[in-house]
Amino acid sequence: MRHADRAYRYVTTVASGSALLFLLMIVIVLAVKSYPSIVVNGLKFFTGITWNPSLNGELIRVNGVPTLQGATYGAGVFLFGTLVSSAIAMLLGVPAGIGIALFLTQVAPQRVSRMVSFLVELLAGIPSVVYGFWGLVVLLPLLLQVIEPAMASLFFWVPGLNGQPYGAGLLGSGIILSLMIVPIVASISRDVMLQTPLELIEGGAALGLTKWEITRKIILPYAKTGVIGAVILGLGRALGEVMAVALVSGSALNALPNSLYSPINTIAAFMAESLDSAFTDPSGMYVSALFELGLLLLVITLAVNFIARLLIKQGFVSKAETVIKV
């Protein structure tokens, strides 16, 4: 028994330690590999929107670091595309996901709920490349021919919404990403809502609360932290998504979108798209710049997680005092 316990202890310790080690290794590799790019490109990397590796340029040295003559690396387009497409995805996907969770836990009869839950979980298991293909074949033509022209003429007076329909672009990426995060938000939110203690729900019912009041005053406040967690997981997926976005983004380069319909590109999608050509750069600067993109994405994701933790922490504090105040 004691041997078994010791082995149990060692194995689990090593397992969890290796996760930490792995994270550390990734950070080190990213930092080391992106170092040349950080030195040469400086702050312009974050503010510039021109990404020109100048592969025919002459090999030179800047601050002792080899690069190509005329090469410019500005990640602005990808940074913007990543953040805004994810924001659109959250805007569309979070209310839908929470709505589905509310339907499943509060409204639907048990049999319907079980069936829809299963379907939602299936949705979470669809490979992202399939989402991308569907977007390419179904969504983009629909956007180009119907939705975007309609929106553009309806909102002709709103800057950003009155642009040229394009199909592949910001809106398409946002919609595809939102479809991908809905199942995450919905299934986790459903699970935390189901954990609301029955005593609290009955307490509310006995006071004469309607179903909606019980949802709003008791279940939502109780599930709040878990739902925030679900939203952050969804955001993490949206920020890092490669394949689906690569297929529907329009792969913009060197130009910020001038409307909701314009082509964009995201950090993750662009990294995957351009790795091949990056290896043809004899100076190695292109590869280094891609690593810096990776580092940037990691920092964004960590920042999001940090903010989420902060929100949840505050949620716990205020839960006691104000949250389900009527």
Partner 1 sequence: MVLWLKKVELFEKAPDSSSAGLSKVGLDMEGSYPASEVLIRISGLNAFYGQLQVLYDISLDIKRKSVTVIMGPSGCGKSTLIRTLNRMNDLVPGFSHNGRIELDGKDIYSKDVDPILLKIRVGMVFQKPNPFPISIYENVAFGPRIHKMFRKKEELDRIVENSLKRAALWDEVKDRLQANAMSLSGGQQQRLCIARALAVQPEVILMDEPASALDPGSTSKIEELIVELANECTVVLVTHNMQQAARVGNEVAFLYKGRLIEFGESPGIFENPRNQLTEEYVSGRLT
Under rule CB under 8 A, residue 323 binds partner 1: yes
Q: Do residues 173 and 131 touch, judged by C-beta distance below 8 A?
A: no
Which residues ranging from 213 to 242 are in contact with partner 1 (CB under 8 A)? Answer: 213, 217-218
Q: Which is nearer to partner 1, 121 or 202 (CB)?
A: 202
Under rule CB under 8 A, residue 320 binds partner 1: yes
Under rule CB under 8 A, residue 49 binds partner 1: no
Under rule CB under 8 A, residue 199 binds partner 1: yes
Under rule CB under 8 A, residue 127 binds partner 1: no
Under rule CB under 8 A, residue 314 binds partner 1: no
Q: Give the residue, chosen from 12, 153, 164, 210, that forms a contact with partner 1 under the rule CB under 8 A.
A: 210
Candidates 119-127, 138-146, 203-211, 272-280 — which segment interacts with partner 1 by CB under 8 A?
A: 203-211
Under rule CB under 8 A, residue 4 binds partner 1: no
- Cα first-last separation, the chain: 55
**Interface mask (CB under 8 A) for partner 1, residues 51-90, using x and -?**
----------------------------------------
Candidates 84-92, 114-122, 198-206, 230-238 — which segment interacts with partner 1 by CB under 8 A?
A: 198-206
Under rule CB under 8 A, residue 200 binds partner 1: yes
Under rule CB under 8 A, residue 312 binds partner 1: no
Which residues ranging from 87 to 116 are in contact with partner 1 (CB under 8 A)? Answer: 110
Distances (CA, A) of 1 to 8, 14, 15: 10, 20, 21
Q: Give the residue, chosen from 205, 233, 253, 304, that forms a contact with partner 1 under the rule CB under 8 A.
A: 205
Q: Give the residue, chosen from 207, 255, 299, 302, that forms a contact with partner 1 under the rule CB under 8 A.
A: 207
Q: Which is nearer to partner 1, 159 or 208 (CB)?
A: 208
List contacts with partner 1 (CB under 8 A). Answer: 110, 197, 199-210, 213, 217-218, 319-326
